[in-house]
Amino acid sequence: MPIVRNVSRAVSQLLQSPGCGCGIPVIPARCIGVSPRQVASDASFHLVSFSNSDHPRVLITGGLGQLGVGLAKLLRKRFGKNNVILSDIRKPADNVFYSGPFIYADILDYKNLREIVVNNRITWLFHYSALLSAVGEANVSLARAVNITGLHNVLDIAAEHNLRLFVPSTIGAFGPTSPRNPTPDLCIQRPRTIYGVSKVHAELMGEYYHYRYGLDFRCLRYPGIISADSQPGGGTTDYAVQIFHDAIKTGKFQCYLKPDTRLPMMYIDDCLKATLEVMEAPAEALSMRTYNISAMSFTPQELVQEVQKHVPELQVTYKVDEVRQAIADSWPMNFDDRNARRDWGWKHDYDLPELVTTMFSFLGSDSRIAQVN
C-alpha cells in the first residue's frame, strides 16, 4: 500500500508545517497494530471498555481540528467519558490525551479503521477529517485523497456496520451560480474549490448510501465557525478568529477580505449543539439528510465595529488576498435554515454582540483588554 503510506506521511508533514496548526482536521484511523493486551491498562491510548448502557459508542475522526475536541467534551458529558473515542494522526496535547480515550487513526487505511470500529463496538461516527478551503487549493491532490478517498472508506465501513454517520458540510459546497442571499437547502451547487467539490460529493454520496443501503447518514452545512480555543489558519472565514488574537496581542489587524464581504458565521457552541441535536433527532423527523444551519451573518467591517467596542484603539487595514476573496465571493451571504428549525427544532443562542463578548471573555485576560476595560 505505498500510495496510502505516502499520502499519510504527506498529511502529517502538512499539519506540522507553519501556518497549518489551526483547525485543519486531518485524519485518523489506525491503531498501529497494537492489540488491547499490549497496552497498559491505565493508558488512554488503547481500546477502551465501554459503559454498560444504551448510550451510543462514538468515534470522532480528525478529532484534533477546530471542532473535534469540543465535540468530544460535549459528548462525554452527555454519554460518559469512555463512550467517546477521539482520534487523529497527530499527537494530542497532554490535556486532550488525558481527558478521555484517544487513538491513532488514519482514514486512508481502510483495514485498520474497520478494526477500530469493530473492536470498540462503535455505533456513531463523526467524520471531521478534511483539508479546508485555502489549504486544499494549495495541495489539490492531497485534498482529493483526504476529503474524497477517506470519505469513501468511512461510508463503506458505516454501511457495513450499521453506524449512524455524521459528515459536516459547509458554505463552501455552493458556488457563484448558487443563490447567495439567502441560500436554500436545495439549489444549484457548483463550487470552485476542491474543498467545496469534495463536500458536495460527500452530501450526495451520503444521501445515496441512505437510499441505496439504508445508511443513517446525517449532515449539516456549517457556516464559518468561530472559537476561542483554536488558532486560525487554512480557512477563508478565519479572519473572524484572527481579529480577536490580533486585537489582544498587538492592537493591529490586517484583513485579507474586502470590508463589505458578507458571510454566514456561527459561534462554536451553537455549532456543537446543532450537531448533537441533529444526531439525536428521530429519523422520522428528518425530511432531508443535509441541512443548512445558520446563526448570524456579518461583514469584516461590521465585526470590526463590534470588536472596537471592546478594544477602541484597534487599528484595521485591508490587504485583499485574491484567492480567498474569490472563494468568499462564490459563497452564500446568508443561509436559509428554515427546514432545520422546523424539522428538529434548531435554534441558535449567539448573535454578533454575544459572540464578541464571549470571545473576549475567553481571550481577554491579556493586559491590553484589562486596561481598556
Give the angle 11-15-18 at the CA atoms, nearest 5°: 135
Distance CA 282, CA 262 (A): 34
The reported pLDDT for the residue numbered 203 is 98
The reported pLDDT for the residue numbered 107 is 95
Q: Residue 33, exposed/middle/buried by CB under 10 A (0-12, 13-18, 19+)?
A: exposed
Residue 348: strand, helix, or coil: coil
User: Hey, which bits of 159-292 come out as E strands?
Assistant: 164-166, 169-170, 216-222, 224-226, 252-255, 263-267, 290-292
Report residue 148 as a C-alpha cell: 474524497
Question: Catalytic residue at 195?
Answer: yes
Residue keyed to cell 465585526: 303
Which ranges constitute the DSSP H helices of 232-288?
239-249, 268-280
Q: Which domains does the chain have, with CATH numbers?
A: 130-371 (3.40.50.720)
Low-confidence stretches of the chain (pLDDT beneath 70): 1-53, 232-234, 365-373
Strand partners for 266? 225
Q: Which among 153, 150, 83, 358 has a CA at the least distance from the CA of 244?
A: 358
Task: Read off the pTM.
Answer: 0.82
Which of 104, 110, 128, 195 is catalytic? The answer is 195
The reported pLDDT for the residue numbered 134 is 77
- DSSP calls for 107-140: TT-HHHHHHHHHHTT--EEEE-----HHHHHH-H
Distance CA 357, CA 344 (A): 28
Give the other-Cβ count within 10 Å of 292's Cβ: 27
The reported pLDDT for the residue numbered 240 is 95
The reported pLDDT for the residue numbered 53 is 57
Q: First-to-last CA distance in the chain?
A: 58
Q: Which among 122, 175, 189 has a CA at the least distance from the CA of 329?
A: 175
Yes or no: say if 234 and 316 are a contact pair by the CB < 8 Å rule.
Answer: no
